[in-house]
Homo-oligomer: A and B are copies of this chain.
Amino acid sequence: MKFKVKDMDIATGGIQVCVLNWQDAQALDLHLMDRIKISKGKKSTIAVLDIAESNKPLSLGQVGLMEEVLKRLNIRQGDQVSLSLAEKPKSISLIKKKLNGKKLDPDELRIIVDDIVDNKLTQIEITYFVAGSYTHGLSIDETVALTKAMINTGQKLELKEHPIVDKHCIGGVPGNRTTLLVVPILVAAGYTVPKTSSRSITSPAGTADTMEVIADVILPISKIKKVVTKTGGCMVWGGAVNLAPADDKIINVEHPLSIDAEGQLLASILAKKGSVSATHVLIDIPVGRGAKVKTLKKAVHLEKAFRKVAKKLGMKIKVVITDGSQPIGNGIGPALEARDVLWVLRNDPHAPQDLKNKALLMAGHIMNSWPLNKEHKKRGFYKAKEILESGQAYEKFLEIVSAQGKKQTDPENIKLGKLTYDVKAKTRGKVRYIDNLSIARIAKAAGAPSDKGAGIYLYKHVSDKVKKGETLFTIYAENKQRMKYAKELLNIYGAYVVS
């Protein structure tokens, strides 16, 4: 069938799409998401069919093409192309197999991940893959195969050092910016730590958002390799490099329903670690009412699954279950968290002790588990403390920051939101509970993480005594509208329970 090209002036940024008027589609017996072979002379490509339900965009005999298709075939508006029905990719029958409750072997998972990365599958088809993996679960072997497939379809940071250490926190706890302390401590102790972090997905700040206040975090993979080779570590944004790209596309379709498929969570985390050649990984699972993992039972279950998968991947793993019942550190939001981190590194009296202690605990666990020398063995915590308090960690931190591109390392010069609002205790008593989710919501309403200086600074933690009228926390915002919005949420959700 011959059709006239209409340039839709849209790029999908991924999958190749063509659009037909619904009457043409019906006449040709073509259906939504059919694969269509589009040919012009000797060139051809395969696109997924979208159908225009209204007559506005396309008249009969026209095929609308997205930028990706126009480029591939080197054609433009008004050109004539031939359309014919193409076979669906093999991955579709494999996705159906999973949806039917059958197990997939490594080759089959590899085919699916390949097609996801190559933009051959629509979001609906990926959704069925997620739904099948979620309702039937992924076995340990499937999770291992998925992880390997994810690693192999992305960029890799190839490093020859041994051991290469990495850490990951399951999240859900505001503040909790231990990574930016653990990395310099470990690197100062002699470990190689090529740390890539994410930006915020649902929190007021991700590690990459916070680090970005202090240094550049968007580095090409060649530059990351140079930084790690030179300094022993890095703290960069993983999203800037194409590590395990299937993961993002899977997360995209999980988001609308907040699907939390365990197998995909494990694969997602371990694939990012595998992509940077990590050989030894510490996983922090905070547990508590407001954390992502709410019960100890679930945490222990996750720990076991992590161990099984890591073992089959040939990765050493140590899982630590920590207290996730309240925020850790005082600052919440990129700038406020960055200031906390610098205060701890500089042994400043403002340094939040809970954040410092948790970081030492994490670093200590790694040294105990995988000691580089006698000093680390069984007394990792004390060795980590020594490295931090002697200033060695700060020195290493500055070295990494300077290699990545320094922005600001003086905590007193970090720009916070101009507008502040103090939230005061309405009664005297003790802080009984701080709600992680409310704190996160208020900080986000105030502008975090897009407004770097926005967020919350806590003056009181759980079990602290408070007087009536004493400030519990301060909200920071960069503009009035955001502050108004934060106050509205404060009124709806509260945040502290004092009694």
Give the interface of A toward B (CB within 8 A). Answer: 8-14, 22, 26-29, 31-33, 52-54, 56-57, 67, 88, 92, 95-96, 99, 101, 122-125, 127-128, 131-132, 134-136, 199-201, 252-253, 255-259, 444, 449-450
In the complex, are the beta carbons of B28 and A450 less than 8 A apart? yes
Minimum CB distance partner of A22 in chain B: B13
In the complex, are the beta carbons of A257 and B95 less than 8 A apart? yes
Which of A31, A52, A131, A256 is the most central at the interface, judged by chain B CB atoms within 10 Å of its CB? A256
Q: A13-B52, A92-B257 given. 18 additional CB < 8 A pairs?
A: A9-B9, A14-B53, A26-B450, A27-B450, A32-B256, A33-B255, A95-B257, A96-B257, A96-B258, A99-B135, A99-B257, A124-B124, A124-B127, A124-B253, A124-B256, A125-B256, A128-B259, A132-B135
Specify how many copies of this chain sit in the oligomer.
2
A26 / chain B contacts, CB cutoff of 8 Å: 199, 450
A67 / chain B contacts, CB cutoff of 8 Å: 54, 56
A452 to B124, CA, bound (A): 33
Minimum CB distance partner of A96 in chain B: B257
CB distance from A51 to the nearest CB of B (A): 8
In the complex, are the beta carbons of B124 and A54 less than 8 A apart? no
In the complex, are the beta carbons of A200 and B29 less than 8 A apart? yes
A257 / chain B contacts, CB cutoff of 8 Å: 92, 95-96, 99, 125, 128
Partner of A11, one of B9, B52, B125, B258: B52
In the complex, are the beta carbons of B199 and A12 less than 8 A apart? no
In the complex, are the beta carbons of B127 and A92 less than 8 A apart? no
Partner of A132, one of B33, B57, B131: B131
A131 / chain B contacts, CB cutoff of 8 Å: 99, 127-128, 131-132, 135
A96 / chain B contacts, CB cutoff of 8 Å: 257-259
Which of A27, A57, A92, A128 is the most central at the interface, judged by chain B CB atoms within 10 Å of its CB? A128
A26 to B123, CA, bound (A): 20
A57 / chain B contacts, CB cutoff of 8 Å: 9-11
A252 to B49, CA, bound (A): 12
A122 to B95, CA, bound (A): 20
CB distance from A459 to the nearest CB of B (A): 26
